[in-house]
Each structure stands twice: as structure tokens, then as C-alpha cells.
Amino acid sequence: MVLANHQEIVVGVDGSPTSTAAALWAAAMADRLDSPLHIACAVQEPTFYMAESVMVIPEEVWEQQRRTAEEIVDEAAKAILERHPYLSVATHVDAVSPAEMLVDLSASARLMVVGSSGTGLVLSTLLGSTAKVVADTAACPVVVWREGTGDPNSPIVVGIDGSATSAAAIAMAFEIASRLEVPLIAAHVWSAASQAGGVTLPLLIDWAAIEKEESVLLAESLAGWVEKYPDVVVERVLRQSNPAHTLVDLSEHAQLVVVGSRGRGPVRSALLGSTSSNLAHHARCPVMICRVRK
């Protein structure tokens, strides 16, 4: 079991339609993964700094914000329990910045879920600033929820580049595909420009050798996982193209895309390097960003 000591799935909510949809998605995933769900909402601290000045929120205003936050988590929990009556659900309201709250909770979480954008009164924009900070710094995998096909039989896509975070993504992708009983598309996309090594004349590049090398990388990355999860049907995609563009295209018919937070440096496209960041903004389904847990 991946991350066996970190079972809780945490979702950040702010009262916006996007965060509500993210919470419902998180609940469905928690149900399938046999994980408890933790619904969290933040309110601005009563005293905070802005433009080198100390700002103090009037007590009655702050109390109203806190009540609003409590209503948001209670309503989310009610909606979730109507759909998943046996799911263990906890709620949490904290007077810290949204990013600080979620990053702190990520230390003991199996998975963190945030909406790609938020318009609620309590949290700042979630992939506004909060979602970006959480995706960049959380200790656990982070799902940036984006609206997808809604087809429960659609595949999981995992982006592979041979890095340590890519290996973490592969582990999560296989486990989720197995639990959801859906196929897995394992995609390794390599850029011709990055592989050329500064050579400007295409005729001087041994493309066949490069493609063989990339094929070996894909095979080695999947080694052991196919045997561990024989129930998962795996489709391998090996393509010379732009990694972000290809994964966005694959996301159109997927229910989740899983990538590492960063790749192996300048030779491979960074997978919250450019690829994972691009996916968080443009994918046509939820995106899971994985890192190596310290």
C-alpha cells in the first residue's frame, strides 16, 4: 500500500462551486481508497501584516467570517455524507493563511485536494496563490481539481520521465488505477529540442538511437509495477513531442493525470516545473502532482 502511514485525504474548501466540486471528488476518492476525509477551511487571522502595516480585523467581522467558514465545512460535509453515508468525515476551521493551513495538514495526509480556482469569501483564490503554494510545497501528493469527463471508467494517465518524483507518480497511479479498476496510460514524452544536445542539423542526430534510449527508460520505469498490479491494463505511450501539450491532450479522455512535481533537470522537461504547472492550469481533468515524501 502506498503511503500506508498517511491515510487521510484532505480537501480545502472556500464556499465556491469549484471547491465544492473538488470536495465531492475528494470524497469519492476517499471512499474508493478506504481513507477518512478531512474538510478544511481557513479564515484570515484577526491581526495580519499588509504592505508593512499591521491590519486588525474588527472582532465582530472576524467572528462572522469564522461562522461563515464553519457553515462552509458543515454544508460540504452534509453534501458528502448524503452521497457517501459510511465515509469518515472530519471538519476543520483555522485562523491562519489558507496555504499555511493546507501545507501543515499535508504533513500527515495521504493526499491533498484543492480546486483550480476559488471565488469564495473565506479563502483566497485556490490555482490562484493558495493552490500554487500548496502544489509547490505540500509534503504529500496534491490534486488540483479540474472538471473532467465524469466517466468513472475512463483511464488514469501517468507522465513518466525517469526522475524520483516520476517514480512516486507511477506508484500512486498504479494504486489508484487498481482501486478504481480502470486502465492506466503510461506516457513518456520526450522533446526533440532537449535531446539534440545543441546540434542544429537534424541529419546529424541519431533519432533511432534516441528513441531506443527513451523506450528503455519507459520500460525500466514500469519494471516491477506491472507485476505488482497484474489487474491493471497498461497502455504505453512513447512520443517525441512537447510533454505538457501531449499530457493535456491525453487528459481529455482521462479521469486523472498523475505527474511528478519536477523532472530530472534541463534534459527532461520539469514534471512543478513547466509540465506539471501547465497541466494544473490547462488539463481537462484533475491533476495529481507527486513528490518524494521526506
Say whether 270 sits in a helix, a strand or coil: coil
Last residue of a domain, one of 124, 145, 166: 145
Q: How many domains does the chain have?
A: 2
Residue 55 belongs to domain spanning: 8-145
Q: Are residues 160 and 286 in the same domain?
A: yes
Please report whether residue 226 resides in a domain: yes
Q: Are residues 125 and 236 in the same domain?
A: no
Provide the residue type at 212 as one letter. Answer: K
Q: Are residues 136 and 168 in the same domain?
A: no
Contact 121, 65 (CB under 8 A): yes
The region that residue 160 occupies, defined by phi over 0 for left and psi between -120 and 50 for alpha, beta otherwise, is beta
Q: Are residues 185 and 270 in the same domain?
A: yes
Last residue of a domain, one of 122, 145, 168: 145
Q: Are residues 172 and 111 in the same domain?
A: no
Q: What is the pLDDT of residues 235-287, one digit of tens each?
A: 999 998 888 899 999 999 999 999 998 644 433 443 356 778 888 888 999 99
SS (H, E, C) 77-111: HHHHHHHCCCCCEEEEEECCCHHHHHHHHHCCEEE
Q: Are residues 235 and 281 in the same domain?
A: yes
Q: Are residues 264 and 205 in the same domain?
A: yes
All 3 cell numbers of residue 144? 488540483
pLDDT, averaged per 10 consecutive residues of the chain (294 residues), comes to 63 91 96 96 68 62 85 96 97 88 93 75 50 86 87 95 91 97 95 56 66 90 95 95 92 95 47 71 92 76
Nearest to 256 by CA among 74, 113, 129, 133: 113
Q: Are residues 210 and 267 in the same domain?
A: yes
Please report whether residue 2 resides in a domain: no
